[in-house]
Amino acid sequence: MRALLTAVCLLLAACATRPAEPKADPLNPAAEAYVKLVLAIGELEPGYVDAYYGPQAWADAAKANKRSAPQLKAEADRILAEVEAVSPAGLDPLEARRRAYLIAHLKAARFRLDMIEGVRKPFQDEAQALFGVRPPVKPLSAYDPVLARVEALVPGSGPLAERVDAFKSRYVIPADRLDAVMRAAIAECRKRTLAHIALPAGESFTLEFVTGKSWSGYNWYKGDAHSLIQVNTDLPIFVDRAVDLGCHEGYPGHHTYNALLEERLTKGRGWVEFSVYPLYSPQSFIAEGSGNYGIDLAFPGEQRTRFEADALYPLAGLDPKTAEAYAALRDAMRELDGARTTIAAMYLDGQIDRETAIALTRKYNLMSRARAEQRVSFTDGYRSYVINYGLGQDMVRAHVEKAGPDQSARWKAMETLLSDPALPSEL
């Protein structure tokens, strides 16, 4: 009997000291189903899946067992109901944000399936359904005062767009110097980002120059903290685009964003939904907005112009003494960014034809015809996605700068935004 009592006591002691089994996350099954849904939609629409680094078997299954749009809409509805059935009351704050993130992205996926079947809604409705924000659309006349200010910077005769293009043509990076200029710009963007944000060990990128695209730069995230950054050379590249693309596509832009999500959410928490990035989703609003705002965060005030004059202009064979004049024009023209949304809305809603959209893009974004055609081609392909750049930047800026004027505090707010399950509605 004593031996039996001893055994019982030892068993009870072992049970008391054994760690409790981890609590099963009620959102995990739906999260896995969501990833498989996105991969399946990608089989219906090439380009829908912007990045994926989850199990290869899931991607293989999506290819081998293609499903129709009606079947996928039913699946999206099923997963959405499953997520909504999980009460946020039983979740911690970050888990509740995860639930909201899944709901928002499932709704966007459901709407994209309607679009794949041919459904079209007005520009603002489409943007809200896909990206979670209803964009304001200003009349083009709101930008006329900005054009007047640009006129003063580029005096002369002839259409303003042609004068601006002639001025900017003096700042083209020669083709044989492009690689060196781009690598120097990306290296500086990376250096400034790493001073504030710790990235995974061994993170890296590959730089590639391409042609035949409707965009000027693209980041293809490959997983394991590695990206392919592509730069389109269809049109001459101005010297200021080196920092733009280095920050936006790399640091603290898309590469940084994806690497942090992978490290802290996919691997750190086992949240598989972050291993896939559907292009037409609220995630793109955060990605593009933070990518654009990241330029100003990395190069506040006059720092960008000084860096370009000291480092990039000599590499490009340009006169550093003219950097301030070019920067003044660039800064003035940034106030015209919102015109892109207005023109896209008018064009996609059928208020103007393609030729008029090109003409208005030339006038209000001060571009050559070739660049205006490229921009309208982007709108043809990506539609209301254009809101993510200007409006996204404005909302990310306002969100981050709530932290105050201190740069360290702003970088910390940016890091939190890039590594959490953030939605546009939280900005």
The residue-averaged pLDDT of 333-337 equals: 94
Listed in sequence order, the residues at least 6 apart from 77 whose beta carbon sits closer than 8 Å to its beta carbon are: 110
What confidence tier does 192 reach under pLDDT thresholds 50, 70, 90?
A: very high
Report the range of poorest mean pLDDT among 20-29, 99-108, 357-366, 418-427.
20-29
pLDDT of residue 23: 57
Question: How far is the C-alpha of 230 from the C-alpha of 217, rounded, in Å?
Answer: 6
Residue 1 clears pLDDT 50, i.e. is over it:
no
The 10s digit of each residue's pLDDT in 80-122 is: 999 999 999 989 999 999 999 999 999 999 999 999 999 999 9
Spatial CA neighbour of 272 closest among 57, 33, 51: 33
H or E segment to which residue 218 belongs = strand 217-223
The sign of the CA dihedral 235, 236, 240, 243 is: positive
38: number of Cβ within 10 Å? 29
How much of the chain exceeds pLDDT 90, in percent?
93
Q: Residues 292, 173, 316, CA angle at the centre, nearest 5°?
A: 105
Q: Which two tokens stand for residue 399?
A: 């969100």
Phi-psi region of 228 (alpha: psi -120 to 50; beta: other; left: phi over 0): beta
H or E segment to which residue 227 belongs = strand 226-232
Q: What is the mean pLDDT of the chain?
A: 94
Q: Return the DSSP state at 250.
A: I
The 10s digit of each residue's pLDDT in 208-229 is: 999 999 999 999 999 999 999 9
253 in Cβ contact with 291 (< 8 Å): yes
Residue 64 clears pLDDT 70, i.e. is over it:
yes
The 10s digit of each residue's pLDDT in 140-177 is: 999 999 999 999 999 998 999 999 999 999 999 999 99
The residue-averaged pLDDT of 135-139 equals: 96
Q: Would you tell me the crossing angle of helices 254-261 and 282-298 to the nearest 10 degrees?
A: 120
The residue-averaged pLDDT of 135-144 equals: 96
Residue 4 clears pLDDT 90, i.e. is over it:
no
pLDDT of residue 24: 72
103 in Cβ contact with 81 (< 8 Å): no
In DSSP notation, 319-355 reads -GGGHHHHHHHHHHHGGGTHHHHHHHHHHHTTSS-HH
Is the pTM of the predicted complex or chain greater than 0.75?
yes
Phi-psi region of 366 (alpha: psi -120 to 50; beta: other; left: phi over 0): left
The 10s digit of each residue's pLDDT in 245-264 is: 999 999 999 999 999 999 99
52 in Cβ contact with 277 (< 8 Å): yes
285 in Cβ contact with 424 (< 8 Å): yes
pLDDT of residue 3: 45
How much of the chain exceeds pLDDT 70, in percent?
95
The residue-averaged pLDDT of 378-392 equals: 96
Q: Return the DSSP state at 136.
A: -
Residue 10 clears pLDDT 90, i.e. is over it:
no
What is the length of the chain?
427
Q: Which two tokens stand for residue 146?
A: 């900005």
Residue 9 clears pLDDT 70, i.e. is over it:
no
